[in-house]
Amino acid sequence: MCHDVLVRDSDGQHCAPSELSILQQLEAVVLVPNYNRLMPSGRTFLNFFNNANCAAAAKRLACWISIQRCDEDGDNRLRVCYSACELYNTACGAGLDCSDQTLFSKREEEEKGVPCTGYGEKKSSWI
């Protein structure tokens, strides 16, 4: 589910297990529940384009929360970029707390180029 997201986020390495069966278990136990929590319910057909945007943003954020990048040494996980949280909130009309520093980097850190998971993800033209 996250392969395309992790490939696009090519800066640095991800802390994902290399064995496929373990990665599949991680997706089933961690990633899918994270995605289901992030995907708002009650969307209508009239919001089709917003739904597609929201689904893509929720998928990216769920992948990055579940499988974070590692630092250069491979010892520590890098928090998810503040901007990734903001993009998700914009796409889904959500109110996720982007200031939660257990999950997300500070905006100032990202502006200074401090590495984070999902760094460099640009705002979609749909939003």
Distance CA 55, CA 61 (A): 10
Quick check: is 97 in a domain?
Answer: yes
In the chain, the number of structural domains is 1
On whether residue 93 sits in a domain, the answer given is yes
116 occurs within a structural domain: no
Burial of 1 (0-12, 13-18, 19+ CB in 10 A): middle
What pLDDT, on a 0 to 100 scale, did the predictor assign at position 30? Answer: 73
- Domain membership of residue 122 (yes or no) is no
In sequence order, what are the residues at sequence separation of 6 or more whose Cβ sits closer than 8 angstroms to the Cβ of residue 108?
none
Range of the domain at 43: 3-111
Q: What is the mean pLDDT of each run of 10 residues along the chain (127 residues)?
A: 63 63 67 74 49 87 88 85 93 91 93 86 46
Q: What is the pLDDT of residue 45?
A: 42
Q: Is residue 119 part of a domain?
A: no
Tell me whether residue 96 is in a domain. Answer: yes
pLDDT at res. 19? 62
At 97 the pLDDT is 94
Q: What per-residue string of b and e applies to 29-56 under the rule 16 or more CB within 10 Å gives b?
A: eebeebbeebbeeeeeeeeeebbebbbb
The pLDDT score that the predictor gives to residue 18 is 61
